[in-house]
Amino acid sequence: MSAGQVESALHSCHLPWEHRAEGKESLFRHFEFSDFTSAFGVMTVVGQVAEEMGHHPDWYNVYNQVKVNLNTHDVQGITQKDFALAMVMEHVASQTAIELSQLSVTHPLWPQQQEILVKAINAHL
């Protein structure tokens, strides 16, 4: 995705993520939770969903803070997979259920994975 496409997608998806273009291009987000248990709980749920997606975040946790960088390693840039995982993280962090239509990502595996992801997310909320 070009820088313009990334910025446009962040805006249209209403995602409070930052586009970082220096070095390894990524989507970045700093989450702050009430305590370590909440932060680790979100990481646990997102980790399970990320494993099902086959798309894993680069993240760092200290106490109630979680810093996340998302990029698609095999293309060395940002793809729709990163936006899908960012949306998943927002929903899990805010403890809101996610609708299947909100995971509209164009990827050959998504028709099979979307329903699995929605069930996995909602089962943990």
pLDDT value, residue 93: 87
pLDDT in tens, 13-25: 788 999 998 888 9
Assign 27 a pLDDT band (cuts: 50, 70, 90).
very high
pLDDT in tens, 73-88: 888 889 888 988 998 8
Class of domain 3-123: alpha beta
Assign 104 a pLDDT band (cuts: 50, 70, 90).
very low
Nearest to 25 by CA among 87, 95, 92, 73: 73
Residue 88, token pair as written in the block: 């998943």
- Map out the domains of the chain as residue ranges: 3-123
- How many CB atoms are closer than 10 A to CB 38? 16
**Sequence-ordered alpha helix ranges (H) in the chain:** 3-12, 36-53, 80-94, 110-123
